[in-house]
Amino acid sequence: MRCEFCGKGVAQTWQLWDFWQFKPKSQQPICQDCWGMFTPIIGPTCQECGRASRQETCEDCQVWLEEGYPPLKNQALFKYDAMMHDFFQQYKFRGGYHLRTIFQEVLHKRLAEVSVDMIVPIPVSPDTLAMRGFNQVNGLLEICEIDDILCCISHNKSVQSLKTRQDRLNTAQPFMCQLGNLDLTGQRICLVDDVYTTGRTLRHAATCLYECGAKQICTITLAR
Protein backbone atom coordinates (compact mmCIF):
# COMPACT_ATOMS: atom_id res chain seq x y z
CA MET A 1 0.00 0.00 0.00
CA ARG A 2 1.18 3.51 -0.84
CA CYS A 3 1.08 6.50 1.50
CA GLU A 4 -1.69 8.92 0.52
CA PHE A 5 0.59 11.92 1.04
CA CYS A 6 4.07 11.01 -0.19
CA GLY A 7 3.50 7.83 -2.21
CA LYS A 8 5.99 5.71 -0.28
CA GLY A 9 5.12 2.18 0.74
CA VAL A 10 3.36 1.80 4.10
CA ALA A 11 4.70 -1.03 6.25
CA GLN A 12 2.09 -3.01 8.19
CA THR A 13 3.06 -3.72 11.80
CA TRP A 14 1.55 -6.62 13.77
CA GLN A 15 1.48 -7.61 17.40
CA LEU A 16 0.56 -11.02 18.82
CA TRP A 17 -2.76 -9.62 20.11
CA ASP A 18 -3.80 -8.70 16.56
CA PHE A 19 -4.06 -12.39 15.63
CA TRP A 20 -6.67 -12.96 18.36
CA GLN A 21 -9.01 -10.26 17.11
CA PHE A 22 -12.24 -11.15 15.33
CA LYS A 23 -11.71 -8.62 12.53
CA PRO A 24 -8.68 -7.81 10.39
CA LYS A 25 -6.27 -5.11 11.50
CA SER A 26 -6.94 -1.94 9.54
CA GLN A 27 -4.17 -0.63 7.31
CA GLN A 28 -3.12 2.95 7.97
CA PRO A 29 -3.25 5.01 4.74
CA ILE A 30 -0.15 7.11 5.56
CA CYS A 31 3.46 6.33 6.43
CA GLN A 32 5.18 7.09 9.73
CA ASP A 33 7.19 9.93 8.15
CA CYS A 34 4.01 11.74 7.09
CA TRP A 35 2.33 11.00 10.42
CA GLY A 36 5.27 12.72 12.09
CA MET A 37 4.61 15.88 10.05
CA PHE A 38 1.34 16.57 11.87
CA THR A 39 1.99 19.00 14.73
CA PRO A 40 0.51 18.09 18.12
CA ILE A 41 -0.51 21.03 20.30
CA ILE A 42 1.46 20.90 23.52
CA GLY A 43 1.42 23.56 26.21
CA PRO A 44 1.15 26.30 26.96
CA THR A 45 -2.30 26.78 25.44
CA CYS A 46 -5.31 29.06 25.77
CA GLN A 47 -7.48 27.28 28.32
CA GLU A 48 -10.62 28.26 26.42
CA CYS A 49 -9.98 27.40 22.75
CA GLY A 50 -6.91 25.15 22.97
CA ARG A 51 -4.65 27.11 20.63
CA ALA A 52 -0.94 27.36 21.40
CA SER A 53 -0.73 30.54 23.47
CA ARG A 54 1.12 31.95 26.45
CA GLN A 55 -2.08 33.73 27.50
CA GLU A 56 -4.29 31.70 29.81
CA THR A 57 -7.25 33.09 27.83
CA CYS A 58 -6.46 34.48 24.38
CA GLU A 59 -7.93 37.79 23.20
CA ASP A 60 -10.52 36.14 20.93
CA CYS A 61 -11.81 34.00 23.78
CA GLN A 62 -11.87 36.94 26.18
CA VAL A 63 -14.40 38.56 23.83
CA TRP A 64 -16.63 35.44 23.87
CA LEU A 65 -16.58 35.28 27.65
CA GLU A 66 -17.23 39.02 28.01
CA GLU A 67 -20.31 38.58 25.82
CA GLY A 68 -21.69 36.10 28.33
CA TYR A 69 -21.04 32.79 26.57
CA PRO A 70 -20.27 29.88 28.91
CA PRO A 71 -16.69 28.56 28.78
CA LEU A 72 -15.89 25.71 26.41
CA LYS A 73 -12.49 24.58 27.73
CA ASN A 74 -11.71 23.17 24.29
CA GLN A 75 -8.94 20.60 23.88
CA ALA A 76 -7.39 20.75 20.41
CA LEU A 77 -5.10 17.90 19.44
CA PHE A 78 -3.19 19.27 16.44
CA LYS A 79 -2.29 22.59 14.85
CA TYR A 80 -4.17 23.48 11.69
CA ASP A 81 -1.04 23.87 9.58
CA ALA A 82 -0.25 23.02 5.96
CA MET A 83 -0.17 19.27 6.65
CA MET A 84 -3.52 19.32 8.42
CA HIS A 85 -4.96 21.48 5.64
CA ASP A 86 -3.90 18.87 3.09
CA PHE A 87 -5.50 16.14 5.19
CA PHE A 88 -8.86 17.92 5.31
CA GLN A 89 -8.73 18.71 1.61
CA GLN A 90 -8.40 15.02 0.82
CA TYR A 91 -10.70 13.76 3.58
CA LYS A 92 -13.60 16.21 3.36
CA PHE A 93 -13.52 17.58 -0.16
CA ARG A 94 -12.00 14.86 -2.35
CA GLY A 95 -13.96 11.86 -1.11
CA GLY A 96 -11.17 10.42 1.03
CA TYR A 97 -13.43 8.69 3.54
CA HIS A 98 -10.81 5.99 4.14
CA LEU A 99 -8.58 8.67 5.70
CA ARG A 100 -10.92 8.81 8.70
CA THR A 101 -8.82 6.06 10.33
CA ILE A 102 -5.70 8.22 10.65
CA PHE A 103 -6.82 10.02 13.81
CA GLN A 104 -9.37 7.60 15.24
CA GLU A 105 -7.07 6.08 17.86
CA VAL A 106 -5.67 9.37 19.13
CA LEU A 107 -9.18 10.86 19.42
CA HIS A 108 -10.47 7.73 21.15
CA LYS A 109 -7.61 7.91 23.66
CA ARG A 110 -8.22 11.59 24.44
CA LEU A 111 -11.97 11.08 24.85
CA ALA A 112 -11.32 8.18 27.22
CA GLU A 113 -9.57 10.66 29.50
CA VAL A 114 -12.61 12.95 29.70
CA SER A 115 -15.18 12.23 32.40
CA VAL A 116 -18.51 12.76 30.63
CA ASP A 117 -21.86 11.01 30.20
CA MET A 118 -22.23 11.58 26.46
CA ILE A 119 -20.06 12.25 23.41
CA VAL A 120 -21.92 14.35 20.84
CA PRO A 121 -20.56 15.05 17.33
CA ILE A 122 -21.23 18.28 15.44
CA PRO A 123 -23.60 17.44 12.56
CA VAL A 124 -23.50 18.51 8.92
CA SER A 125 -26.46 19.79 6.95
CA PRO A 126 -28.52 17.43 4.77
CA ASP A 127 -27.14 19.14 1.68
CA THR A 128 -23.54 18.66 2.82
CA LEU A 129 -24.26 15.05 3.72
CA ALA A 130 -25.77 14.41 0.30
CA MET A 131 -22.85 16.09 -1.47
CA ARG A 132 -20.02 14.63 0.64
CA GLY A 133 -21.63 11.30 1.47
CA PHE A 134 -20.57 11.31 5.13
CA ASN A 135 -20.25 13.40 8.26
CA GLN A 136 -16.51 13.87 8.70
CA VAL A 137 -16.79 14.12 12.50
CA ASN A 138 -18.72 10.86 12.77
CA GLY A 139 -16.04 9.22 10.64
CA LEU A 140 -13.34 10.35 13.05
CA LEU A 141 -15.41 8.96 15.96
CA GLU A 142 -16.20 5.62 14.33
CA ILE A 143 -14.64 3.56 17.13
CA CYS A 144 -16.23 5.69 19.90
CA GLU A 145 -19.68 5.39 21.44
CA ILE A 146 -21.53 8.57 20.47
CA ASP A 147 -24.98 10.13 20.86
CA ASP A 148 -25.93 11.71 17.54
CA ILE A 149 -28.57 14.06 18.99
CA LEU A 150 -27.81 17.33 17.20
CA CYS A 151 -29.14 18.14 13.75
CA CYS A 152 -29.08 21.16 11.47
CA ILE A 153 -32.16 23.38 11.36
CA SER A 154 -31.18 24.88 8.02
CA HIS A 155 -31.35 22.41 5.13
CA ASN A 156 -28.87 24.38 3.05
CA LYS A 157 -26.46 25.47 5.78
CA SER A 158 -23.46 26.73 3.81
CA VAL A 159 -20.06 25.07 4.08
CA GLN A 160 -18.05 26.67 6.89
CA SER A 161 -14.76 26.55 5.00
CA LEU A 162 -16.21 28.85 2.33
CA LYS A 163 -17.16 31.56 4.83
CA THR A 164 -15.10 34.53 5.91
CA ARG A 165 -14.34 34.90 9.61
CA GLN A 166 -17.00 37.62 9.93
CA ASP A 167 -19.57 35.45 8.15
CA ARG A 168 -18.89 32.66 10.64
CA LEU A 169 -19.25 35.00 13.60
CA ASN A 170 -22.59 36.28 12.27
CA THR A 171 -24.06 32.83 11.64
CA ALA A 172 -27.50 32.29 13.22
CA GLN A 173 -28.19 29.24 15.40
CA PRO A 174 -28.05 26.30 12.94
CA PHE A 175 -28.74 23.43 15.38
CA MET A 176 -31.54 21.77 17.29
CA CYS A 177 -31.69 18.68 19.52
CA GLN A 178 -33.51 15.51 18.56
CA LEU A 179 -33.67 13.66 21.86
CA GLY A 180 -36.37 11.06 21.47
CA ASN A 181 -36.59 9.45 24.92
CA LEU A 182 -33.27 10.89 26.09
CA ASP A 183 -33.18 13.38 28.96
CA LEU A 184 -30.19 15.73 29.08
CA THR A 185 -30.99 17.06 32.55
CA GLY A 186 -27.79 17.04 34.60
CA GLN A 187 -25.73 15.40 31.82
CA ARG A 188 -22.04 16.08 31.27
CA ILE A 189 -21.41 16.25 27.54
CA CYS A 190 -18.33 16.41 25.34
CA LEU A 191 -18.91 18.06 21.97
CA VAL A 192 -16.56 16.98 19.19
CA ASP A 193 -15.76 18.84 15.97
CA ASP A 194 -13.06 18.53 13.35
CA VAL A 195 -11.67 22.10 13.41
CA TYR A 196 -11.97 24.99 15.86
CA THR A 197 -11.83 28.17 13.79
CA THR A 198 -13.76 30.98 15.47
CA GLY A 199 -15.59 28.87 18.04
CA ARG A 200 -19.01 29.97 16.81
CA THR A 201 -20.15 26.49 15.74
CA LEU A 202 -19.24 24.89 19.06
CA ARG A 203 -20.87 27.71 21.02
CA HIS A 204 -24.10 27.37 19.03
CA ALA A 205 -24.09 23.63 19.73
CA ALA A 206 -23.29 24.10 23.41
CA THR A 207 -26.08 26.68 23.78
CA CYS A 208 -28.53 24.23 22.24
CA LEU A 209 -27.50 21.46 24.66
CA TYR A 210 -27.58 23.73 27.71
CA GLU A 211 -31.11 24.81 26.77
CA CYS A 212 -32.09 21.12 26.80
CA GLY A 213 -30.81 20.67 30.37
CA ALA A 214 -27.14 19.72 30.05
CA LYS A 215 -25.20 20.43 33.24
CA GLN A 216 -21.67 20.71 31.90
CA ILE A 217 -20.14 20.84 28.41
CA CYS A 218 -16.55 20.52 27.27
CA THR A 219 -15.30 20.29 23.70
CA ILE A 220 -12.58 18.47 21.77
CA THR A 221 -11.47 19.28 18.25
CA LEU A 222 -8.97 17.49 16.06
CA ALA A 223 -7.36 20.75 14.99
CA ARG A 224 -7.06 24.42 15.98
Q: What is the pLDDT along the chain (224 residues), one digit of tens a residue?
A: 889 899 888 876 555 444 454 544 556 889 999 999 999 999 899 999 999 999 999 999 999 999 999 999 999 999 999 999 999 999 999 999 999 999 999 999 999 999 999 999 999 999 999 999 999 999 999 999 999 999 998 755 555 555 565 666 667 899 999 999 999 999 999 999 999 999 999 999 999 999 999 999 999 999 99
pLDDT confidence of residue 160: 55
pLDDT confidence of residue 179: 93
What's the Cα-to-Cα distance from 180 to each of 20, 150, 216, rounded to whole Å? 38, 11, 20
pTM of this prediction? 0.87
Distance (Å, whole) CA 219 – CA 206: 9
pLDDT confidence of residue 1: 80
Beta bridge partners of 2: 9
pLDDT confidence of residue 17: 46
